[in-house]
């Protein structure tokens, strides 16, 4: 189901990162009133100064389960949820502490599910609504040094696609937006990893445009990546060992390992 963003009320999580900033601007440009959340008050205040009175900043740490409940209560009347907040999950499994694993699961998977669970019934009752879950191509294609991140993103994709079918007879839709490598901002860009020659990337604005399209056109799933990555994701669903073998030859182990090191401080 589609939603007209002009005048719509939107809850956006993870608004303080570069991709979240771009999504907030894209929603705002379409006329939405954005409840923007993140962990950094200064970054939220800066975004509010830029976008004006149709953006309301709310500090929330989605690893805190009580904060998730409070945020859901505050956002009960929103028309759209864009669950964008996520923690890095790259690196060898044995490099994680149990606490870091739990935190990644809480922010990347549990919080979007709980927010969706809390907000969708009101959308159904009002007769309109949409949920956008920001997944990743890592939620379609397995890769070494991505076990934690892929676990959360595979799970988020499965949740969203299943819920969309569950809501088929209602006026509420669920979309999955799956970015690949995003340059200029976000987890990959901040890790400072050099990709193999010829590897294509997209921009935060491309992600923002996909989110807007998902909401206003009612698209079930949009991959934000070059054609070669989109085809690879489809092939992985049929022959994952073939795709991971090709990735290894192209340098995926190096990229994954370096991303894990580059993101370690943000777990």
pLDDT of residue 144: 80
Higher pLDDT, 179 or 246: 179
Separation of alpha carbons 147 and 172, rounded Å: 32
pLDDT of residue 190: 62
pLDDT digits (tens, 9 = 90+) for 209-240: 999 999 999 999 999 988 877 776 776 777 66
Residue with structure tokens 């739990």? 102
Domain 9-266, CATH number (from 1.10.260.40, 3.40.50.720, 3.30.565.10, 3.30.530.20): 3.40.50.720
* Mean pLDDT computed over every residue of the chain: 88
pLDDT of residue 69: 97
Q: Please, which pLDDT band fits residue 115 given cuts at 50, 70 and 90? A: very high
User: Which residue ranges make up each domain of the chain?
Assistant: 9-266
pLDDT digits (tens, 9 = 90+) for 41-94: 999 999 999 998 899 999 999 999 999 999 999 999 999 999 999 998 788 899
Which residues, at least 6 apart from 190, have a Cβ–Cβ distance to it below 8 Å? 262, 263, 266
pLDDT of residue 1: 78
Q: Is-catalytic flag, 149?
A: yes
The set of long-range contacts for 143-147, using a CB threshold of 8 Å and a minimum separation of 24, is: 143/244, 143/247, 143/252, 143/256, 144/244, 144/248, 144/252, 144/253, 144/256, 144/257, 145/90, 145/91, 145/92, 145/253, 145/256, 145/257, 145/259, 145/260, 146/89, 146/90, 146/256, 147/89, 147/93
Q: One of 27, 107, 111, 149 is an active-site residue; which one?
A: 149
Higher pLDDT, 79 or 140: 79
């Amino acid at each position: 189901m589609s939603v007209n963003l002009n005048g719509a009320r939107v809850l956006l999580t993870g608004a303080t990162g570069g991709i979240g900033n771009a999504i907030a601007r894209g929603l705002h440009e379409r006329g939405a009133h954005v409840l923007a959340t993140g962990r950094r008050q200064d970054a939220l205040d800066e975004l509010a100064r830029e976008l004006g009175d149709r953006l309301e900043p709310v500090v929330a740490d989605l690893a805190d389960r009580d904060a998730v409940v409070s945020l859901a209560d505050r956002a009960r009347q929103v028309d759209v949820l864009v669950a964008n907040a996520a923690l890095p999950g790259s690196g060898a499994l044995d490099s994680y502490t149990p606490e870091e694993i739990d935190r990644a699961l809480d922010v990347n998977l549990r919080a979007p599910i709980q927010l969706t669970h809390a907000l969708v019934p009101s959308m159904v009752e009002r007769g309109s609504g949409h949920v956008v879950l920001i997944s990743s191509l890592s939620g379609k294609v397995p890769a070494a040094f991505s076990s934690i991140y892929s676990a959360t993103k595979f799970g988020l994709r499965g949740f969203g696609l299943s819920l969309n079918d569950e809501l088929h007879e209602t006026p509420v839709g669920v979309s999955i937006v799956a970015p690949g490598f995003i340059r200029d901002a976000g987890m990959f860009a901040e890790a400072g990893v050099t990709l193999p020659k010829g590897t294509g990337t997209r921009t935060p604005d491309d992600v923002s445009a996909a989110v807007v399209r998902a909401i206003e056109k009612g698209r079930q799933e949009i991959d934000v990546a070059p054609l070669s990555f989109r085809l690879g994701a489809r092939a992985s669903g049929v022959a994952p060992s073939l795709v991971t073998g090709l990735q290894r030859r192209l340098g995926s182990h190096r990229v994954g390992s370096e991303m894990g090191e580059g993101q370690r401080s943000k777990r």
